[in-house]
Structure 1
């Protein structure tokens, strides 16, 4: 059974090595999540540990999906820092282990973040993803609206510039 958990800063540090494995697998299979291949596990673990301060401060929320004690997926919610943008946040780093894909886990992680955002008074979410990626199906299926695409916006893990598609979702006020 899969459990989705909103992690604290100390829990994030505890799960950093397992999250590093997820990040490395995600990059190795070609998903564009901000890192180039090859990505070594220690660099990935350090990156996760460095997010703990932001989690502690409340500027980033991180959720993990656990199956049998192992991290099978993750997602982050990055709050907008400026006073005129407190109503919005960015969804980032939605990752599901390749072996766990196709079972609705990405949609479940997305739903968990959306539910939390509503309780926090966030009424607008944005995100971006590589154009043509499988993630686009998840976002469209969850009611996200496409804004448009920007050519050559980010490099894939091999270093090739790819177009990125931007999405938004309006949430009901609490």
Structure 2
């Protein structure tokens, strides 16, 4: 499966539906993208709509990986608005549909996010936050990111199940 990536695609109802299906499926497959399974599209929809509104306002950028017409990967990139930190961006809500996992789609997505960030004038680095306990920091390290911070137990996924909030950084060269 070879994905093709589109930066800032038109925000159509079909794209929204594809993102909603992908986010829900990835969450239910154990993806750490703001939810704990089981989730429904009704659970994910309000959060997706907030992020799409930020894209529509120009506050976030959207990168979507397609296989044909199907959304199979996506990520949001947000410029830091603090005047002393505008030289780096956040990668947020990075997701790969379960049908595309294990085939290099995640690595391709992270390369495409780096390309998008490089195209944003003045951007020198990408930061992202990931949930501990899933090996995500190892995946991001293979993509060139370095762990630069960790808050133990900051993410509560359930009673008695606290995970570290890990900050990763990719310096763009």
The interval holding the TM-score normalised by the smaller chain is 0.7 to 0.9
Taking the aligned partners of 1:151 and 1:134, their CA distance within structure 2 comes to 15
Report the secondary structure of 2:81's partner residue: coil
Secondary structure in structure 1 of the residue aligned to 2:11: helix
Quick one: structure 1 residues 144 and 114, their matched pair in 2 at CA, closer, same or farther if it must change by over 3 Å?
same
- Structure 2 unmatched ranges of 5 or more: none
The 1:106–1:37 alpha-carbon spacing in structure 2 relative to 1, beyond 3 Å, is same
Q: Taking CA–CA contacts closer than 8 Å with sequence separation of 6 or more, which of the two structures ends up with the larger relative contact order? A: 1
| Deviation at residue 127 of structure 1 after TM alignment | 0.8
The runs of at least 4 consecutive aligned structure 1 residues that moved more than 4 Å come to: none
Q: Does 1:85 align with 2:90?
A: no
Q: How many pairs align? A: 170
TM-score by length of 1: 0.86
Q: CA RMSD in A?
A: 2.0
Is the aligned partner of 1:124 residue 2:140?
A: no
Report the alpha carbon displacement of residue 9 of structure 1 after superposing the two structures with TM: 5.5
Partner of 1:25: 25
Q: Deviations over 1:16-55 (max 9, x none)?
A: 1121111111222222211244322134234323323311
Provide TM-score, normalisation by structure 2. 0.86
Q: Gaps spanning 5+ residues in structure 1: where?
A: none
